[in-house]
Amino acid sequence: MMNYKDAGLSDKEYAAILKMLGREPNELETALIGVMWSEHCSYKSTKPLLASFPQTGKAVAQGPGENAGVVDCGGGWGLAFKVESHNHPSAVAPYQGAATGVGGIVRDILAMGAKPAASMDGLFLGPPDAGKSAALAAGIIEGIAGYGNAVGVPTVGGKTFYDPCFEDNPLVNAFSSGFVRLDSIVSSKTAAPGDLAVLLGSKTGRDGIAGASFASRELNEDSAASRPQIQIGDPFEEKLLIDCCLELQHKGLIASMQDMGAAGILSSSSEIAHKSGAGMEIFCEKIPLREQMEPWEIFLSESQERMLLIVNPDKYEAVKAMAEHFTLECAIVGNVTAGDRYRVFKNGSLLADLPLSVLGDAPVIPWPAAEPKNLAQRRTLPSGLKTADAESDLLALLASPEGRERRHIWTQYDCQVQLRTAEWPGAPVSAVFAPESDNLVVFSMEGKPWKCWADPFTGAAETMALSLRNLHVSGAEPMGMTNCLNFPSPENPENFHDLTECVRGLSEVCRDMECPVVSGNVSLYNETPRGGIYPTPVVVTAGLVRGSERYIRAGAAKEGDAVYLVGPAEGSLGASRWQILRSASSRSKPQGATTPYNAENERRFASRALETSRKGTADSARAIAGGGLGAALAKETIACGTGMELQAPDGSLTAALFGEGGPRAVYFVPAEREEAFNAIWAGYPAVRLGRVGGRALTMKGVFSLSLNQLTAAFHGGTE
């Protein structure tokens, strides 16, 4: 017999339910409320924080509140995009957890009426030389490849990060995007009384039952016990589902559409009704099942490859015929009604009768926040940070798990299916062609756990600012951002402080830089008995390059190009790759706040970077990120296959070469365009370091590394 605590409800929440209903809920009603009030479905810990994000902007066609955000990318086309987490499932069953994460985010894009066009993945893993981490990583990568390749959506880039804090609790943040005509965006708010609720796709089974509740608590020691809560994906069924739904939309046969993700048919049907100001009736006996199931199992199942359609009765036969053409299950499972009731029936018997406001409006939890006792220590940069051998340090950075190439990951992915891909994985940004134009849509995914641990506000601000810098340097004007907030338990006041400060950092940069937040996800309780993860907000910004000839590609420097460093000569060594590399222990925690955020400097950098693109004054460029200037120069040398002859920047050699943070970039400028380049960057720090040429990366008096040495370090390790 299920009680309210089995459903994940607290004493205080159950008391609130009794007050709302004026009675005790029955067992099924308790289960329904429990899953809809789970952290994963309700965002009850973060709603007030998320409200601080700017949500409107000149390119925004659809902001938060739908399955994904949509921005206007020109020519009547919109870009739908979103990132979501599948962390707990991937820790327990890495292949299926990651695979179904891809499937779920693709369906979120489909639910907007968009054809999925490009995916990315954010992977935060334990040390690659640890047996458990290696096994988890292999399964996760195979799951992403196995599903994404088969479903026909290219994986065009991503982010991979390694630290011991993710050893038992890896993060898998799945991003997807797609294109939709702006006049054909599907909304979840357009159901009307008399419409039919139609289930399209796979039959419902016991896989994934209560997955939303599972994702809303800490992982325990016995992860095997959680395997029944992991969904099982079928990408070939999903491909049929995508094609069928797009055809139904094109023919005007559906009024609304919703992915059956967390909480399955319950969340999809109740959310559509609640957002539309209507009621809903669902009939258990009409739901196609793979096996005998109890009503609570049916409603909490997260079986994959299913969509809920809202259909006018006059159009149902055409919908059913289309489903048969694609060999998909199709069944009327309920009705949209007038009023505010969510009712569940089985063979004429009423099993549950709840106000939709109860299901859809979980009370916010005002968790207390307390500044961590060790925050001052975390923010303090260790003394005596100075390179003893810059040449050895640079090679070590390139060969480290954080610095080396990711070819062994992305070569498992189909990066070019659909033939829109304009940039290969491994570049600072990802890019695809927009429909019916020569414009490029550019994506930048960033996550900085070390910096967010050392100082949550500054670290999150740097995460967001760097993502924007990557776009600006490539020539892309930002259209919007989506994010996934990955944190440990909010019930710990120090954790909630870190979460609050990270959101404040992201929000401030987004407001200052006019980059609205159009969608997102929150993943809490990322911890095990061994401890929690670092604060890890992951952001993906989307930008538009108006004409592919304006796109500045990294790795395209040419013999004879002048090498310019724009921005301050020095970066911060706080929580940097170099600092961790030089630590005495591989499990040392990062220390030192990164470069303070300065909105005016970011705007000055952004405007000049975009003008550099518009006027075509550079052959190649890259924002300075992990590993600092030294890593940026080395990666450019490897990518373009030509050496460089340089002078060291002024200031501290260690901070100049290996410091991170702040609006800094390296540009590679043809001699005939140097005057125009310098005119653009007048009033902002810009120093000529030297020229491209030779067969070695040489910085006079500091190091000289051959192309072979650099390439061997960058390509030599395996994870």
Give mean pLDDT, residues 374-380: 96
Residue 684 domain boundaries: 553-719
Give me the pLDDT at residue 214, please: 46
Give mean pLDDT, residues 249-275: 92
Rounded to 10 degrees, what is the CA torsion of 469, 474, 479, 480? -40
Beta-bridge mates of residue 181: 77
Give mean pLDDT, residues 372-382: 95
Give me the pLDDT at residue 131, please: 80
Residue 114 contacts residue 180 (beta carbons within 8 Å) = yes
What's the pLDDT tens digit per position in 537-588?
999 999 999 999 999 999 999 999 999 999 999 999 999 999 999 885 556 7
Give mean pLDDT, residues 611-620: 98
Give mean pLDDT, residues 66-71: 96
Give mean pLDDT, residues 334-361: 96
Question: Whole-angstrom Cα distance, residue 85 to residue 218?
Answer: 15
* Cβ atoms within 10 Å of 246's Cβ, excluding its own: 17
Question: Whole-angstrom Cα distance, residue 660 to residue 632?
Answer: 11
Closest Cα to residue 382, out of 580, 240, 642, 120?
580
Angle between helix 456-474 and helix 493-512 axes, rounded to 10 deg: 30
In-domain check, residue 255: no
Give percent of the chain with pLDDT exceeding 70: 96
Beta-bridge mates of residue 486: 523, 536
**Secondary structure letter of residue 239 according to DSSP:** H
Give me the pLDDT at residue 429, please: 98
Indicate the number of domains in the chain: 1
For the cut 80, the answer to whether the pLDDT of residue 347 exceeds it is: yes
Q: What is the CA radius of gyration of the chain?
A: 26
What's the pLDDT tens digit per position in 397-453?
999 999 999 999 999 999 999 999 999 999 999 999 999 999 999 999 999 999 999
Tell me the catalytic residues: 40, 86
In-domain check, residue 565: yes
Give me the pLDDT at residue 1, please: 58
In-domain check, residue 696: yes
In-domain check, residue 610: yes
**DSSP3 helix / strand / coil % (the chain, rounded to 5):** 40, 25, 40
Q: What is the pTM of this model?
A: 0.95
Residue 152 contacts residue 413 (beta carbons within 8 Å) = no
**Secondary structure letter of residue 660 according to DSSP:** B
SS3 259: strand
Closest Cα to residue 271, out of 311, 308, 304, 238?
308
Name which residue leads in pLDDT, 225 or 87.
Answer: 87
What Å distances lie between residue 276 and 66, 191, 281, 295, 662, CA to CA? 12, 6, 14, 25, 45
| Mean pLDDT rounded to a whole number for the chain | 93
In-domain check, residue 626: yes
Q: What are phi and psi of 492, to 5 degrees?
A: -85, 115
Residues 6 or more apart whose Cβ sits within 8 Å of residue 106 = 116, 119, 151, 153, 176, 238, 242
For the cut 80, the answer to whether the pLDDT of residue 373 exceeds it is: yes
Query: Of 103-112, 142-151, 225-234, which range is least confident?
Result: 225-234
What's the pLDDT tens digit per position in 198-256?
999 999 988 767 544 444 455 665 544 444 456 678 999 999 999 999 999 999 999 99
Residue 456 contacts residue 372 (beta carbons within 8 Å) = no
Question: Whole-angstrom Cα distance, residue 503 to residue 456?
Answer: 9
In-domain check, residue 471: no
Q: What does the angle CA 683 – CA 685 – CA 688 come to, to the nearest 5 degrees? A: 120
In-domain check, residue 563: yes
Residue 613 belongs to what H/E stretch? helix 599-615
CA 6 to chain centroid: 31
Amino acid at 476: A
For the cut 50, the answer to whether the pLDDT of residue 361 exceeds it is: yes
SS (H, E, C) 482-506: EEEEECCCCCCHHHHHHHHHHHHHH
Give me the pLDDT at residue 585, please: 57
What's the pLDDT tens digit per position in 459-479?
999 999 999 999 999 999 999
Token pair recorded at residue 561: 């190009």
**Secondary structure letter of residue 64 according to DSSP:** B
Question: Whole-angstrom Cα distance, residue 698 to residue 706?
Answer: 8
For the cut 50, the answer to whether the pLDDT of residue 693 exceeds it is: yes
Question: Whole-angstrom Cα distance, residue 211 to residue 207?
Answer: 9
Strands annotated E in 472-573: 477-486, 517-523, 527-528, 531-532, 536-545, 562-566
Name which residue leads in pLDDT, 209 or 118.
Answer: 118
In-domain check, residue 578: yes
Give me the pLDDT at residue 689, please: 98
Question: Whole-angstrom Cα distance, residue 474 to residue 357?
Answer: 46
Q: What is the CATH number of the domain that holds 719?
A: 3.90.650.10
Token pair recorded at residue 40: 């994963």
